Amino acid sequence: MARFLGLDASTQSLSALVIDMDTGAVCANQSVVFGERLPQYQSPKGFLAHQNPRVRHSDPLMWVEALELLLGDLAGAGLDLGCVRGVSGAGQQHGSVYLTRSFDQVGAWSTDRPLRDQVQPLLSRRTSPIWMDSATSAECAEITRAAGGDNRMVALTGSRAIERFTGPQIRKFFKDSPEEWAHTCEIHLVSSFMASLLTAASAPIDLGDGAGMNLLDLGTGTWSPALLDATAPDLAAKLRTPVPCTTRVGVVADYFVKKYGFSPGTPVIAFTGDNPSSLVGMGAGRPGTAVISLGTSDTVFAAMTAPRTDPRGTGHVFGDPAGGFMALACFANGSLAREEIAHRFGLDWEAFSDAILTRTRPGNGGNLLLPYFVPEITPRLPVPVVRWFGSESFVDGRDPYAAVRAVVETQALSMRLFSRWIGEDMNPILVTGGASRNRGILRILADVFQARIVPLQVSNSSALGAALRAAQAVGGTSWEELARRFSAPANHLAMKPDPRTLAMYDEAGHQLERRLNEVLANPFVKG
């Protein structure tokens, strides 16, 4: 029996998915939702409250406890983890964890104590800034100046210096907490931190996730000396050499063998970022298929036929686990904005979908919403911006159905506008994430992009991608065969575009771009 385990440490949950190569089936798919299972961490949405809305940190010990809960759930449900032949995983990109000692210096985890209690003394920084943190504008500017400007940053790393990226976060830590910085021996991404927990050894950062740090030279696949120097002193000594995502980084530690029943010597493959992992999980690791992920943030990404960068400076280039590069545009106000509108008007998700499918029409009668309830990544807005344009009842907040359509139409139009630089064919478009089963959202995506929108059979593409990467690295199965067997699209749920909406959404896109340009000129002016 050849089974492979994929883990996904996302913003709000830790998930596990197990594939069976003999049957071609997913034999386990479980999650630990942080807010539900670990309320003691006071992180109902996966991050700690802070008086500054631009500061978004999580407690890394929450991820440690979640790992134990999740493995316990799998074993408790009757899954024989001894049949797992390889493990890999993914983590929310850009988040960072800081240690006083290398995992290599710790030795084996003791089964006599909870893992959380053994990890806690290793932390030189009590909390971890995550991808939602945007409190590093000054550090971005400093790194950019030292590196030689925006164009040089993009040429080296595939992105401008971005507030949520790890390099600026590291620089802010060095500046604000020099004593803790001096005691920091090793820095991990969420992905390599989780892999290190599983192996009880320091796992390196992989190239796909490392490309989201503003530190990796994409041309050489190594840390850029110039950017390391521009970020913080002695940074090179605190980062392990990056590796391809197919690298075996260790074996499952005895702690997990004894507690949860893994076989001794089970190989662990380098963990990567959630977006690169989703790319292969969707069966889109080769150019020719675009993907939209509808999660806490929304993303549009695709494998690239040739490297290119975004002239606007808002898009990004990461490593593709199947080889080469992938392009990505990220939108912070994804489910956060949809949930805000649903909560504001007391709508469940069935009513949310119905508002689009039966109660409103494409174009929304000209009603437009800029739904940036948290600082936005694309376009770059350093502060929340919420603006209502249109009829009196809409602007006054008395039309819940128009509000629903407005938030989704703006999100879809923004995705189309800010992903054009990718230059890859976007028809069909595969969709994944928690909202990928919402028929109303799929309807708008199909019409805005004038493309066939197809959900995946398995909604957690990041955990699936991790399991597939383990199967490819350990078992040697080709990407094409893995995609055929496990990444089948749910064609019966596909949504076809209505060509009659093309001209109307083109005009709506122009209207949105005009409003965005007004806001970008001065985002601090209240609307």
- Residue 270 DSSP SS3: coil
- pLDDT surpasses 80 at 525: no
Could you tell me the domains of the chain?
Answer: 3-275 (3.30.420.40), 283-455+497-527 (3.30.420.40)
pLDDT at position 138 over 60: yes
Count Cβ atoms below 10 Å from residue 357 Cβ, excluding itself.
Answer: 14
Q: Distance (Å, rounded) from C-alpha 315 to C-alpha 206?
A: 20
Q: Flag whether pLDDT at 523 surpasses 80.
A: no
pLDDT of residue 309: 87
Average pLDDT over residues 90-109: 95
Q: Quick count: other Cβ atoms within 10 Å of Cβ 372?
A: 25
Distance, CA of 271 to CA of 104 (rounded, Å): 17
Q: Is pLDDT of 100 > 90?
A: yes
Q: What number is the average pLDDT over the span 365-385?
A: 93
DSSP assignments along 189-243, one per residue: EHHHHHHHHHHTS-PPPBHHHHTTTT-EETTTTEE-HHHHHHH-TT-GGGSPPPB
pLDDT at 405: 98
- The fraction of the chain above a pLDDT of 70, given in percent, is 99
The predicted structure's pLDDT at residue 53: 87
- Residue 526 clears pLDDT 80, i.e. is over it: no
Q: What is the per-residue pLDDT across 474-501, written as a single tens digit (0 to 9) for each?
A: 999 999 999 999 998 889 999 999 999 9
**Separation between Cα atoms, residue 243 and residue 192, nearest integer Å:** 11
pLDDT for the residue numbered 23: 93
Distances (CA, A) of 85 to 262, 267, 351: 9, 7, 43
For the residues 16-25, what does the mean pLDDT come to? Answer: 95
* Confidence band for 27, pLDDT divided at 50, 70 and 90: very high
What is the pLDDT of the chain when averaged over all its residues?
A: 94
Q: Which of 80-94, 258-272, 276-290 has the lowest mean pLDDT?
A: 276-290
**pLDDT score of 222:** 97
| pTM of the complete model | 0.86
- In angstroms and rounded to an integer, the radius of gyration of the C-alpha atoms of the chain is 22
Which residue type, as a one-letter code, is found at position 521?
A
Residue 527 has pLDDT above 60, yes or no: no
Q: What is the pLDDT of residue 104?
A: 93
Q: Given this model, what pLDDT does residue 237 score?
A: 97
